[in-house]
Amino acid sequence: MAERLFQASRQRRVITMTAAAGAAGGAAVPLLLCALLAPGGAYVLDDSDGLGREFDGIGAVSGGGATSRLLVNYPEPYRSQILDYLFKPNFGASLHILKVEIGGDGQTTDGTEPSHMHYALDENYFRGYEWWLMKEAKKRNPNITLMGLPWSFPGWLGKGFNWPYVNLQQTAYYIMTWIVGAKQYHDLDIDYIGIWNERSFNINYIKVLRRMLNDQGLQHVKIIASDNLWEPIATSMLLDPELLKAVDVIGAHYPGTYTVKDARLTEKKLWSSEDYSTLNDDVGAGCWARILNQNYINGYMTSTIAWNLVASYYEQLPYGRCGLMTAQEPWSGHYVVESPIWISAHTTQFTQPGWHYLKAVGHLEKGGSYVALTDGLGNLTIIIETMSHSHSMCIRPVLPYFNVSHQFATFILKGSFSKIPELQVWSTKLGKSSERFLFKQLDSLWLLDSNGSFTLELQEDELFTLTTLTSGSKGSYPLPPKSQPFPSIYKDDFNVDYPFFSEAPNFADQTGVFEYFMNTEDPGEHRFTLRQVLNQRPITWAADASNTISIIGDYNWSNMRIQCDVYIETPKKGGVFIAGRVNKGGIWIRGATGVFFWIFANGTYRVTGDLAGWIIYALGKAEVTAQKWYTLALTISGDFSSGTLNGKPLWTDIRVNLPKNGWAAIGTRSFEFAQFDNFCVEARPDIHGAP
């Protein structure tokens, strides 16, 4: 290996390392300096005394919830380009791990994801988009690690209780079927399975799940627990030998780069199984750079997984733009390759799961940190970050103050690394736009004449990767289309004979699940519809509403006309609505306000200013019954609204107060079957009067 590196170095004839200082055409700043002229911290990288922990990879979460919802609706080639930036090796983020939500029908942050078993005797392994996403990731990187974790569960598992541990065998069977279905229907091998995201774990359930997986020939599927805090899972494992054996990885969320003594005493792998969750600007990038190094340095965590993979949900939902990149406009094709993508590349493109950290990792003398990893075959990757406090604050936990200042750092390669002739150099500089650059390859570093030592000049908010690997690259595509608002006129008749995805484009379910549906007994106009398919409240993770609702459109819409054909399936107690100016979603959906136009199977209508129905603008009788199609139309203009039923005014010019803008929506009175067809929304400033 050393001889090959030497030959490559001779050919390149590189003897210095420089970096662009500022905008294109700026003067070059020498980074390789004589150690004698630049005194500072010295750091020895040596494998003579063995290696540190095994590296398990860097990844991201799709779900928790519905964070990839809009991605599937992107037209080609833009959808494939986004996927390449996320998963393609040596191109962009080049992720090692993809963690997905096991859809459970409940609201799990930015929407609901459908379960593969809405009901006890129901199994469907083509709902949602996580199957598709895992296949696309595998297509680009066959070695990517796949993980599944439930946030919510379908209601039937709780038998009337909001609790998944009522019948341990049944819940374990439900999870096992998801794993088996992934393989049987999509040829996907799930590598890790979780328990219940950020909620209580049950010791007996973990044991039952392990035994069931083993009995089904799924011994290779490892269990990670408990996707919450280090405790009490760590102590529980130390006190229970069977639990200790059943759990392969302890996963903690937002650990602040630190672990606890009992977690280390288990001698299990320690992961930050959800982290980051920060706006994807340069501060978010600094957060990501800092924790990717320091999760191992401070906490011995050998994997860090970002929430979330791609911000592909309406930005005004909770935690907007908290993905590694942004893709929230399928209607325009616009997306943004944000800086956290290139922060990821500094580690992911130059390491692989199975490599080992060196024992010599740590903090720099004047702030920042360094890690080094090797494949044990002669390759070495060193990652150095100097992220300042103000430019690396994650959303959680609170970051104690620290200082980073200008410094020189000397690295001395010993052991098997002492004869490395050359290191490739990649650099990122965050901060002022005049100085900023992302994942730029610099001149390689020549070591043969320096006895394996080199000195770097380090400024604040920089990231360096020095590596023997020559395979790294900064992938790129032509700029995507320009950003455009959601179309002001949007229609969907749901006439899709064989839908590739179960959900209609751009609808974002916030409570309940709305799926394409075919009425086999209706050969006419309403043969293909959108149906709300839950008849029972799920075992919730967040505060799901009491009503089901799916939003669509532009949050900035104010004046609009919404029209939709609706079909109440439940006699007497059923009801449906259309709505505009809906101002909240995600985990805040219960508090959504707007203008809601309801009709009920008992022959009444209602106009409310909120989803919960506490603010009543109007109510009365209407010629409505169940199991019959009706056309509702709602117009909102300024401070007034009007509505029609089958083209006839039902209420006119009712004054509506706040909010002044929001999404359009459809939904039902409760968890009940109902259908929607021929949806149309028109949003423009000059809409006025009755529909």
Helices (H), 408-513: none
Interatomic CA distance for residues 291 and 5, integer angstroms: 31
Q: Which of 123, 198, 242, 435 is catalytic?
A: 198
């020939």: which residue's tokens?
217
Residue 657 main-chain phi, psi, to 5 deg:
-100, -140
Interatomic CA distance for residues 141 and 136, integer angstroms: 9
């942050």: which residue's tokens?
109
Q: How far is CA 20 from CA 150, 484, 563, 565, in A?
A: 46, 34, 56, 60
Supply the DSSP string of 175-226, one letter for each residue. HHHHHHHHHHHH-----EE-S-TTS---HHHHHHHHHHHHHTT-TTSEEEEE
Q: How far does CA 423 lie from the centroid of its chain?
A: 33
377 residue type, one letter = L
- Whether residue 274 lies in the annotated active site: yes
Interatomic CA distance for residues 57 and 54, integer angstroms: 9
The dihedral sign for the CA sequence 165, 166, 169, 173: negative
Q: Enumerate residues 6+ apart whose C-beta is below 8 A from 45.
A: 358, 360, 372, 380, 382, 411, 412, 413, 414, 417
CB atoms closer than 10 angstroms to residue 415: 17
Q: Which of 450, 492, 473, 496 is nearest to 666 (CA)?
A: 492
Task: Report the Cα–Cα distance between both ends of the chain, in Å, rounded.
Answer: 75
544 within 8 A of 107, measured Cβ to Cβ: yes
Q: Which of 101, 113, 136, 274 is catalytic?
A: 274
Interatomic CA distance for residues 514 and 502, integer angstroms: 8
Q: Over the Cα atoms of the chain, what is R_g?
A: 28
324 within 8 A of 337, measured Cβ to Cβ: no
Supply the DSSP string of 259-315, one letter for each residue. --HHHHHTT-EEEEEEEE---SSHHHHHHHHHHHHHHHHHH---EEEEE-S-B-S-T
Query: Do the bridges between strand 369-374 and strand 422-429 make them parallel or antiparallel, or are there none, so unpaired?
Result: unpaired
As given in the structure block, the two tokens for residue 446 are 């020549």
Q: Enumerate residues 6+ apart whose C-beta is below 8 A from 296.
A: 53, 302, 357, 361, 371
> 270 exposed, middle or buried (CB, 10 Å; 0-12, 13-18, 19+)?
buried
Q: Is 498 helix (H, G, I), strand (E, B) or coil?
A: coil
Supply the DSSP string of 574-611, one letter for each residue. -EEEEEEEE---GGGGGG-EEEEEEEETTTEEEEEEET
List, by residue number, the catalytic residues: 198, 274
